[in-house]
Amino acid sequence: MMERPPSKGAETITAAELSMSWSALESDERVQAYRRLRREEAEDFFQGLPSADQAALLAALTKGERRLWLRLLAPDDVADILLEVSPEEQEELLSLLDEPTRREASALLAYEEDEAGGLMSPWFARVRPEATVDEAISYVKRQARDHLETIYYGYVLDAEQRLLGVVSLRQLMIAPGDRRVSDIMKTDVVSVNEDVDQEAVARRFAEHDLVAIPVVDAEGRMKGIVTADDIVDVVEEEATEDIQKLGGMQALDAPYLRTPLLRMVGKRAGWLSALFLGELLTATAMGHYEDEIARAVVLALFVPLIISSGGNSGSQATTLVIRAMALGEIRLADFWRVCRRELASGLALGGILGALGFARVVLWEELFGTYGEHYRPIAMTVAISLVGVVMWGTLSGALLPFVLRALRFDPASASAPFVATLVDVSGLVIYFSVAELLLRGLLL
């Protein structure tokens, strides 16, 4: 293949230099800079780009350049690029591929993007069970001359392409050449179905410390493999989505700086409006206790303290539970265990904050005479309220993800701001209810 010269009159740059400035460059600047890379570095740089950036770069290149760079990619990487463009552009890009790759990439597009089938590569080493070790090694070598995603493993398939077992390249190298593959293969193979969600695939990798995992259909026929580098991208994508949801917004479907402003506002406005409407209930609750506040203005001083403590404890609990669910550490069946655990945690944490609140009221009265002769009942009101609010906050924050999971919603939707808003209203009710009990006849 001919060497692709850099643009006339332009000095070459290194991939490291381009990587450092890539995010700050406009589309036309990226193309100009990319054309200044040496051929070898340009290949590696292109293959290392996110699929969205690959698609944008291809759109700005000539037809010949698009064909050159597309044919470097495995079918699963081509499919990722095709998902980033319009149907018309998909047809145009597919026409640039050789027939086998076009057929494989089109088949991958039939899967959902977040399924194992959408992640897999159809390029894997196939081995027949009746072959000898020498025959298997020779056959794997011939496959490797074409395209293979990885050659750590050879997958043993029958005539109907059903997965029978797996044999490592090391096993093939050390086994006697006249032994049958069926004698040395491992039959206890960890695999995933083609329609399994990508988060479940990532958990399989973590549980079994795999380099690659085979993907099979409902009849056990092998369709492809998902490799560890694909899962790294999945883990980053899922973690980013969950963090954005925990922040009280819809997950972005593009990098931050590439998301149009109006779309960014739209992603954030819905949740923000819902949270605002929720906080209006706080004002309603304050209005309900208007007479109590008028008679004992000192109670209003501790409202931010009480509701923020409940919101913070609830946010902590919901974050812990959502992450544990994502890692598969807890399931719906663990509902009561989590409930008991968070009640105990809430009691302990509330006791700590209650003691701090009590000490604060007493100390300020001793130093500055702030709260008057009834400062001890006020201190007890603050302390007991903190225990109740923190217990309720931790319990609510922990159980809300379970409710969402049971309703088949994403538990990450139980965002920290949402939990805080929920606890704000109930925290006020707890606080003023305790105040009515302890301060009746004194300040109320």
Residue 354 in contact with residue 384, Cβ under 8 Å?
Answer: yes
Q: Is residue 238 part of a domain?
A: no
In this structure, are 288 and 408 located in the same domain? yes
pLDDT band, residue 3 (cuts 50/70/90): very low
pLDDT-wise least confident of 236-240, 310-314, 369-373: 236-240
Considering the domain boundaries, does residue 364 fall inside one?
A: yes
Task: Report the CATH number at residue 312.
Answer: 1.10.357.20
The reported pLDDT for the residue numbered 8 is 46
pLDDT digits (tens, 9 = 90+) for 269-280: 887 887 788 778
Dihedral (CA of 148, 149, 154, 157) sign: negative
CATH code, domain with 50: 1.25.60.10
Highest mean pLDDT among 36-40, 247-251, 396-400, 440-444: 396-400
Question: Are both 320 and 384 inside the same structural domain?
Answer: yes
Element (H, E) at 121: none
Instruction: Tell me the average pLDDT across 182-204.
Output: 92
> Residue 163 forms beta bridges with which residues?
157
pLDDT of residue 249: 77
How many C-beta atoms lie closer than 10 Å to residue 429's C-beta?
15
Same domain, 217 and 72: no
d(CA 227, CA 229): 6
Residue 9 included in any domain: no
Q: Assess if residue 160 is contained within a domain.
A: yes
- Per-residue pLDDT tens for 44-72? 899 888 888 899 999 888 888 889 888 88
Which of 61-65, 178-182, 308-312, 415-419 has the weakest average pLDDT? 415-419
169 lies in the same domain as 308: no
- With b meaning 16 or more CB within 10 Å and e meaning fewer, what string describes 261-300? eeeeeebbeebeeebeebeeebeebeeebeebbeebebbe
- Would you say residue 339 lies in a domain? yes
Distance CA 301, CA 133 (A): 80
Task: Please tell me the least confidently modeled range out of 199-203, 318-322, 413-417.
Answer: 413-417
Mean pLDDT, residues 298-320 taken together: 91
Same domain, 94 and 37: yes
pLDDT at 273: 85
The reply to whether 234 falls in a domain is no
State how far the Cα of 9 lies from the Cα of 2, in Å rounded to an integer. 20
pLDDT for residue 434 is more than 70? yes
- Mean pLDDT of the region 296-312: 90
Q: What pLDDT, on a 0 to 100 scale, did the predictor assign at position 343?
A: 95
List residues bridging with 227 in a β-sheet.
212
SS3 162: strand
Q: Which pLDDT does position 149 carry in this prediction?
A: 67
Question: What's the rounded mean pLDDT across residues 306-328?
Answer: 89
Q: How far, in Å, CA of 426 to CA of 291, rounded? A: 19
Residue 9 in this model has a pLDDT that exceeds 70: no
Same domain, 412 and 272: yes
For the question of whether the overall pTM of this predicted structure is more than 0.85, the answer is no
Residue 208's pLDDT band (cuts 50, 70, 90) = confident
Query: How many structural domains compose the chain?
Result: 3
- Secondary structure class of 104 (helix, strand, coil): helix
- Residue 432: the pLDDT is 92
CATH of the domain at 139: 3.10.580.10
- Regarding whether 347 and 400 lie in a shared domain, the answer is yes
Residue 21 lies in a domain: yes
Kindly report the average pLDDT of the chain as a whole number: 87
Boundary residue ending a domain (110, 134, 159): 110
Looking at 86, 110, 134, the residue that finishes a domain is: 110
The better pLDDT of the pair 37, 272 is held by: 37
Q: Are residues 430 and 299 in the same domain?
A: yes
Domain boundary among 110, 144, 169: 110
Which pLDDT score is estimated for 216? 95
Instruction: Give domain status of residue 333, yes or no.
Output: yes
The verdict on 325 and 374 lying in the same domain is yes
pLDDT tens digit sequence for 88-110? 899 999 999 988 889 888 888 88
Q: Is the pLDDT of residue 132 over 90?
A: yes
pLDDT > 90? residue 2 = no
414 and 301 in one domain?
yes
Report phi then psi at 337, rounded to 5: -65, -45
User: What pLDDT band is residue 4 in, cutting at 50, 70 and 90?
Assistant: very low
Q: Which domain holds residue 48?
A: 15-110
pLDDT of res. 425: 86
Are 263 and 298 in a shared domain? yes
295 and 369 fall within a common domain: yes
Residue 1 has pLDDT above 70, yes or no: no
Res 345 pLDDT > 90 = yes
For 160-189, how does the pLDDT look when each residue is reduced to its tens digit (9 = 90+)? 999 999 999 889 999 999 999 999 999 999
